[in-house]
Structure formats: C-alpha cells, structure tokens
Structure 1
Amino acid sequence: MTSVWREIGDRVWVRRYAWLDQTIGVIGGEDGLVIIDTRATHPLADELRADIQALGGNPLAAVVNTHGHWDHSFGNARFLPTPIWGHVRCATMIVEQGEEMRARMSREYPDEAFDEVELTPPSEVFDESATLDLGDRKVELHYLGRGHTDNDIVITVPDASVLFAGDLLENAPAPAFGDSYPIAWVETGHALVDNVKGIVVPGHGDPFDRRFAQDQVEQLAVLAQLGRELAGGAIGRDEAIRRSPFPAEPTATALERVRLESTE
C-alpha cells in the first residue's frame, strides 16, 4: 500500500496507513485543519504530523477522535495544545480503560512503543452534536447511538458531501465486535446511512459510497437477528455462525455481545 494523501472533496483529504490499514482524515478551512483520529502511538502520531505538512503547513484548528479505542486516540498527546474533540463517553473510555488497553497492546505489539503513550482524553466533549467553525465552512460532529462502541461519532463536511464513519463501518471482511452493541448498531447504522450525501470514509480501508454503507448495515441486521435467535434458543451456535455474513471468529464475538446486550 502506498501511503499518500488523496483529496476526496474540496479540502478534504484521506490517507491510508499500512499498519492496521488505518484511514486518517484531514479537513481544511480558512481557520486551519481538523484532524480525524491520531493513530496508535506517539511515533505514529509524529509521522502523521509530519505527513500533514505536505498539505500546506496550515495551523491545526482541532483534532477529533471518532471513538476511544487505542488505535484512534493514543496519539492524542502529540497534538496538544490543539483542542481534542470527542463524545463524552470517549473521554470516559480513555480514562477508565486506557491503562488496560495500553498494557494489552504493549504485550501484543512489544516493538510499537505503547509504553510511551501518554493517555490523553478529549478536552472538548459533547453528548449529541457539536459544530466546528473553520471560518469559511463548518464541520459537524454527531453521536447517532451505540454501535462499534458506546461512544462512536460521525463527522460530516456538508459542503463537500463527505462523512467520516470511524469504525461504525469498515472496508474490511468484518467490523470489530469486541466492545460492540450489535442490536443497537443496526439502528445507528441506518441513521448513519441517512446522513450520507456522497463519500463515506471508514476507520480502516478505502472510502466507499452509500450503497456499500447500506449493504454493510444490512449485514449487521442479519447478524443481530441471528444473535437474537440464538439467545432465544431458536437456532444453535453453529447454525448462527454458518448463516452469518461475516467470518466465523468475529461472528462468534458478535453473538456473545448480542447475548450480553439482550440481558441489559
């Protein structure tokens, strides 16, 4: 994979990084740049900051975390004192689960400098919606409901018809279900699709269109229904996995998450 900036709308750029096939966004405006997610470690965040210079050296107006997972927020400290935006529960996740995430990633990726990460939750939080004013354009932040986590947000650039979906949608064989709410995710996904006016940028993989987004939400709906049938005893685990639109391992994780969600 060649990591280069692609302008997918007026002053809206994306760049795919090979590690984790992560997709980072930058939105330009009269008053500066908005950075969508900060990568997983301080060296990776420093690489991102250096790469951003290729976009003209404009000042940073804001950073936005699509959610609180380590690969999207552990680079935050390297962007201070720029204001960092996120959902209120994104900040809570980093404060309450950050140490555990950092320790787990240090074990899993011992060469990736996770021990150096300074946990930095968003400084600017909101519950439902917020707007970033860049002078000549606005960037909108919306919480649509639980899905991949309990704190995912979407970022829209209305004048460019671009939506950043974070990990609510992925251009990958399957979304990540470890902290998910598969039943609620379906309604959240439909709300996301209703907000799509053009290009959708996932947290991982290449951007796609509304049809792709709709198809993935329909797959999530199938999975949620299989989980409900399994929880209700109508089908067995093997049948649920066999009928799933996703591979067996992520399906098994999702089915367990449906069981937990059903008992709330």
Structure 2
Amino acid sequence: MTVLREIAAGVHVLRHPVLDVNATLVVGGEAALVVDTLSTAGQARQLLAAVRRVTPLPLQVVNTHHHFDHCFGNMVFTADDCPIWSQEEAAALVGPALRDRAVSNHPDLATDLAAVTPTPATRLVRTAIDLDLGDRPVQLRHYGRGHSIGDLVALIPDADVLVAGDLIEESGPPQFGDAYPLDWPDTVAALMAALTQQTQVVPGHGAVVTRRFVAAQHEQLAALAWLIREGDADGAPPERVAAKSPFPQEITLPAVHRGYLHLNQP
C-alpha cells in the first residue's frame, strides 16, 4: 500500500520507490493541495488513493516542473475537474514530445509512459501566487531558472515546510539535462531566503532535508557555475572542467556544455 508520511501538521510526503520521487499533500480547512503527481497513471492512482485515506477535501494540484516524473499523473487528477498549477513556461512543455522522450529514455517504464495523456496545467504562474486552502496559505514561487526553465516551489509558512522540486536533490546529485547551471545558484539563493533554520525542505527525490543541506548544495552549484565561467574564458575543453566538478563527471558534462552554450549565445 502506498502511504503518505506526515512530516508536519497537515503536511504529508509520499516517497515513491520508482525514481525515489516525492509527492506532497498539504491539507487545509477547506481544500487540500497535491504537489507533483508522479510518472504514470498507475502511480497517480496509488497516490490519489493514499490522499483519500487522509482527506476527503476538494483537491488542487501543483507541478514543480515539467519533467515526466513530476507531472504525468496529472491525467488522473483532472478526472475530478481538479485545477492544476504550474509555472507558465513549464506548462508549455507538457505534450506528446515530452512523452516520446520519456518513453525513449526510460525503457523500463515505456509501456506505462506510452499510455499517458500528457496533461498540462490549467492555472499558470509567472513568478508568484498565493493559494488559500482555508485557514492555510500556500505560497507558490518561481525564483528563476535552475533544474529547468520553469521550477516552482511551494512554501507552507505555518508548517515551516518548503517543497523544492528538483531544485534540491537528496538521493542523488542534481541533474542537468535541460538545466540552467549558471542561473541555478542564484535561484537556490533566493529560495534559501525563505527558509528558517528549522524549515523542512522536501526535495524532488530522496529524504526530507534541512536548510543546512540546501546551503551545502548551493555551495556546490555555485562552485560548478564558477568553473564553467572560468573554463569558457580560458577555452578549456568541457571534459577538463567536468573533471574538477563537485559532482560526478558524467553528471557534470551536460552542465558544462549547457553553460558554454548559454555564455556564447548571440
């Protein structure tokens, strides 16, 4: 049975074994919010069943970004006419092409992914919006580009919890496939300004972390951004830059290529 774990009053996290991805439930007085909907219809149905064991309240959904493991379960939630929020540029990327890439890149999930109807958000956020769940505010914020073009975080102030999506990773290093490695440190710095020393941060993947963990990952991201800028200025091959990274070389190489590309755009 898929189970949500309560980490603060009315805030529950489901850590799904496939890809170690997190989904979060925030329960208010009049409505509840599900942050991220997992990878497939089957996973989303498990999530929805777990949510309904906690609360019967009307639901809303937030996608932290457009990657399949965070939004391909949307189709299950829209069956109940559930509004879905995401950053506007992220929503524009949810479509058949995204599904086709997911099928190609994840053969172990290919059959289930091929059956997904990509369902973009119906409510768009540019930089900020506040939701009211009935005596419980939730602040949605786009602090800038980082892991993707449209990263959105959810802050639950009265519980001192922040849901960070893949801007923060715990069970593995940050992923840079379509990231903005030069912007990412500033985005995390802005996110950190909303944290206290006691804030619980739900990463996109892995265990719930603290501000201290976020600060350490910010230092690594900033160090990588500096290496990319220095390497570009020196004309260094990407492989040489990646070898100096605080992250594994095979993970870093796409970041260096993307950083060089962004630095040299006309």
What SS is found at the alignment partner of 1:72? helix
Cα distance in 1, alignment partners of residues 31 and 172 from structure 2: 35
Q: 1:86 touches 1:124 (CA, 8 Å); kept in 2?
A: yes
Query: Residue 69 of structure 2 corresponds to which residue in structure 1?
Result: 71
- Tell me the percent identity: 39
Shift of 1:29: 0.5
Q: Is residue 206 of structure 2 the alignment partner of residue 205 of structure 1? A: yes
Q: 2:2 touches 2:46 (CA, 8 Å); kept in 1?
A: no
- Cα deviations across residues 89-135 of structure 1 (Å, max 9, x unaligned)? 111111xxx32221122233255411211111110002111111111
Change (3 A) 1:226 1:7: same
Query: Residue 223 of structure 1 corresponds to which residue in structure 2?
Result: 224
- Cα deviations across residues 66-109 of structure 1 (Å, max 9, x unaligned)? 01111111111110110000111111111xxx322211222332
Cα distance in 2, alignment partners of residues 239 and 114 from structure 1: 37
Cα distance in 1, alignment partners of residues 110 and 68 from structure 2: 16
Shift of 1:58: 1.8
Change (3 A) 1:74 1:251: same
Cα distance in 2, alignment partners of residues 135 and 104 from structure 1: 39
Cα distance in 1, alignment partners of residues 200 and 238 from structure 2: 36
Query: Residue 9 of structure 2 corresponds to which residue in structure 1?
Result: 10
Compute the TM-score of the two structures, normalised by the length of structure 2: 0.93
Cα distance in 2, alignment partners of residues 44 and 90 from structure 1: 21
Superposition RMSD on alpha carbons, in Å?
1.5
Shift of 1:7: 1.2
Shift of 1:239: 3.5
What SS is found at the alignment partner of 2:93? helix
Change (3 A) 1:18 1:213: same
Q: 1:40 touches 1:75 (CA, 8 Å); kept in 2?
A: yes
Query: Residue 102 of structure 1 corresponds to which residue in structure 2?
Result: 99
Cα distance in 1, alignment partners of residues 50 and 111 from structure 2: 19
Larger deviation, residues 204-213 vs 40-49: 40-49
Cα distance in 1, alignment partners of residues 90 and 110 from structure 2: 26
What SS is found at the alignment partner of 1:93? coil
Unaligned runs of 5+ in 2: none
Cα distance in 1, alignment partners of residues 118 and 236 from structure 2: 43
Q: 1:39 touches 1:75 (CA, 8 Å); kept in 2?
A: yes
Shift of 1:22: 0.5
Cα distance in 2, alignment partners of residues 43 and 7 from structure 1: 23
Cα distance in 1, alignment partners of residues 3 and 74 from structure 2: 22
Q: 2:138 touches 2:157 (CA, 8 Å); kept in 1?
A: yes
Compute the TM-score of the two structures, normalised by the length of structure 1: 0.93
Query: Residue 88 of structure 1 corresponds to which residue in structure 2?
Result: 88
The residue identity in structure 1 corresponding to 2:63 is: N
Cα distance in 1, alignment partners of residues 247 and 53 from structure 2: 38
Query: Residue 43 of structure 2 corresponds to which residue in structure 1?
Result: 44
Q: 2:2 touches 2:50 (CA, 8 Å); kept in 1?
A: no
Shift of 1:235: 4.3
Cα distance in 2, alignment partners of residues 70 and 173 from structure 1: 18
Cα distance in 1, alignment partners of residues 32 and 70 from structure 2: 18
Cα distance in 1, alignment partners of residues 192 and 115 from structure 2: 38
Q: Is residue 183 of structure 2 the alignment partner of residue 184 of structure 1? A: yes
Q: 1:41 touches 1:112 (CA, 8 Å); kept in 2?
A: no
The residue identity in structure 2 corresponding to 1:78 is: V
Q: Is residue 130 of structure 2 the alignment partner of residue 124 of structure 1? A: no
The residue identity in structure 1 corresponding to 2:100 is: A
Q: 1:41 touches 1:74 (CA, 8 Å); kept in 2?
A: yes
Q: 2:32 touches 2:57 (CA, 8 Å); kept in 1?
A: yes
- Cα deviations across residues 120-152 of structure 1 (Å, max 9, x unaligned)? 111000211111111111111001001011100
**Count of aligned residue pairs for this structure pair:** 259
Q: 1:173 touches 1:246 (CA, 8 Å); kept in 2?
A: no
